[in-house]
Amino acid sequence: MRRALALGLLLAASCSRCAGPKSAASAEELLPAHPSGAIVTAPLGALAQHLAALSDRVARLPGGEQLGQFRAQLAGQLGFDPLTREGLLSAGLDPDRGAAVALFEARPRPEWAVALPLTKPDLFAQTVQRLLVERFGASPGAQPQTYERAGTSIAWKIVQGYGMIARGASPMARFDPPPESLAKSTGFAKVRDHLGAQDVIVWAPAGSDLPRRYTPRTLPGDVAVSLQGAPQGLAVRLFADAVKAQAVLPGGGASLVELLPGNAPLRMRLGIAPQKLVDLIPDERLRALIPKGAFDGVKPGFAISVALARNASLAQAIDYGLDWRRKSPFDTIQLVALAEVVDEKQVLASMEAIAKALPQIGAKATRAGNEFQVTYPAGRGPRFGVREHIAYVFGGDVAELHRTPRSGNPEGAALYEDQGAALRADFGKLAAAVHALPESTYGTGPQSYVTRSVVAQVIDPLTPLRVTLDAQAQPDFFGASLDVEIVAP
C-alpha cells in the first residue's frame, strides 16, 4: 500500500512538471487593465444560443429571410457556424468560456487584442491561419505567426489556454503578460456589477481617447453598453458614470399618461425640465416663437402621443412628408401633448404671446376662452390651451380626453412612473391603423403602387415589433434601457 501511494505521488509530481502552462481563469486576465475600451462576452456557447434563437425568430418574419441568408453566407465564409456549439468546437473554440477584446487608441485606426477561449489549439491555429490568408487576404509577415495586410500587422499566439489575436504596429507585444489585468480593473468591475450578467458588455473608461474620433468631448466617467439577446427580442442597457443629468431629467408626467389615447402607436413621457423642451423643437423658426420662461407655469414632465389621423392620406404623406410649410402634418398624424399646470394665469399669458408671434411664420391663432386654434396657408395647425389644470397641444382630429386604464404589460410600466423619461412604440397598432384607413388613402395609378409597396415592405414587416425606451438620471450616473420585443403574429 505504501509503495502504491509513493508511486502515485511520484507520477503526480512528474505530470505536474511536464504539464503545459496553466490556463488563465478568464480572458480578461490576459488583457491590460487600462485600455481605451474593452468588449467582454458571456460564455460563447450561451452567446451563440441567444443570437441564434433571435436570428431564427427574425428570419420567420416578413422580410426577415435575408438575415437567415446572411447567417448561411457567414458560416460559409468562416468555414463554421459561429452561432452553434458544434460550430464553435469545430474551430477549436470553447463554448463554456467567454472572450474579451481590448481596444487601444492609434492612428489612423485603433489597435486591438482579442482573447478567445480554446478547447483544441491545433484546430484554432488551422482556422485562424486559413481565415487570415484566404478570407482577409493577409500575407505572412517577417516573424512566425504574423501577417501583413494593407500596411497593418496582425499576429496570433496561444497563451494560457486562449487564442490571442492582435492588430497594430507591434502586435506580438500585446501577448506579453500585463502588469495589471482587465480582470482587476475597478472601473470595469463597477459597470459589470451595475449591468449584471449580459451577453456582451462594451466599456469605455473615463478619459478614453476613442470617443474623440467622433466628438471633441471627453468622457467624464466610465461608459458601458450591454446587449442581451433572446428569442423574444433584444435588450440594450446603458450606464454612464459621473454624468449629472438630474437637473435636465428630473422626471414627472406619470399622472398624465392615462389621458393619452390608448390606441396611439407612440406614447412617451418626457420627464425633462420644462425649459429644456424648447431645445427639442427641431425647427429654428418655431423655437424663436417660444418666449423666455414660457414653461415656468407648468410642472416638469410631459405626456405625448402620436397616432395616425383617421382620414390620413398615405399617398399625400409620402409626397409631402411632414414638412409643415408645404402641408399641415396634422392631416396625417394625431398629436396629443399634456403638461400639469401650477400657474394657469402665467401659462395663458405665454400662450397669448405665442399666438401674437405666429404671423412671423405666416400663421395666425384665434382664441375662444382658454383655447387657441392655429391656421396657416398650408392647412390647419394645432390647437392649444388650458383645461382643468392641464396645458395641452392637440394636432389633428383629437376628441375629448378620457383616462385609459393602465396597461398590464410590464414592458410599458416605465410610462406610468415619475422617474426619468420613457417611450413605448407599438408597431402593431400602427399597422392596424394603416389597414383601417379607407381605400382612397393609397391614391391612384402609379401613386397607389408606391404607397402600397411602402406599406407592404416597411409597415407590415414591423408589425410584431414593440420598442420600449427608459432613461433615468441618478445623482451620480445616468442609465437607460432599450428593449426591442418581437411578439407572436
In tens, the pLDDT along 104-139 reads 987 778 899 999 999 999 999 999 999 999 888 888
Write out the E strands in 231-326: 233-241, 266-270, 298-308
pLDDT, residue 260, reads 94
In tens, the pLDDT along 46-72 reads 999 999 999 988 888 877 788 888 899
pLDDT, residue 353, reads 92
In tens, the pLDDT along 195-231 reads 999 999 999 998 888 877 777 777 888 999 999 998 8
The amino acid at residue 109 is R
Is residue 252's pLDDT more than 80? yes
In tens, the pLDDT along 310-337 reads 889 999 888 887 788 888 999 999 999 9
Distance from C-alpha of 376 to C-alpha of 364, rounded to nearest angstrom: 6
Is residue 170's pLDDT more than 50? yes
Q: Which residues, 6+ apart, have CB-to-CB distance to 239 below 8 Å?
A: 191, 194, 195, 222, 223, 224, 225, 226, 477, 478, 479
- Average pLDDT rounded to a whole number, residues 6-22: 39
pLDDT, residue 68, reads 84
- Average pLDDT rounded to a whole number, residues 166-188: 94
pLDDT, residue 138, reads 87
Distance from C-alpha of 118 to C-alpha of 91, rounded to nearest angstrom: 9
Distance of CA 113 to the CA centre of its chain: 25
In tens, the pLDDT along 286-302 reads 777 888 888 889 999 99
pLDDT, residue 20, reads 44
Distance from C-alpha of 470 to C-alpha of 451, rounded to nearest angstrom: 33
- Average pLDDT rounded to a whole number, residues 168-186: 94
> 21 falls in which pLDDT band (50, 70, 90)?
low
The least confident of 31-35, 218-222, 274-278, 366-370 is 274-278
Is residue 89's pLDDT more than 60? yes
> 98 falls in which pLDDT band (50, 70, 90)?
very high
pLDDT, residue 246, reads 83
Q: Which residues, 6+ apart, have CB-to-CB distance to 153 below 8 Å?
A: 141, 146, 147, 167, 168, 169, 170, 171
The least confident of 65-74, 271-280, 444-453, 462-471 is 271-280
What phi and psi, each to the nearest 5 degrees, are found at residue 174?
Answer: -70, -15
Q: Which residue has the higher pLDDT, 150 or 462?
A: 462
In tens, the pLDDT along 356-386 reads 999 998 999 999 999 999 999 989 999 999 9
pLDDT, residue 314, reads 93
Q: Which residue has the higher pLDDT, 136 or 453?
A: 453
Is residue 144's pLDDT more than 50? yes
In tens, the pLDDT along 413-423 reads 889 999 999 99
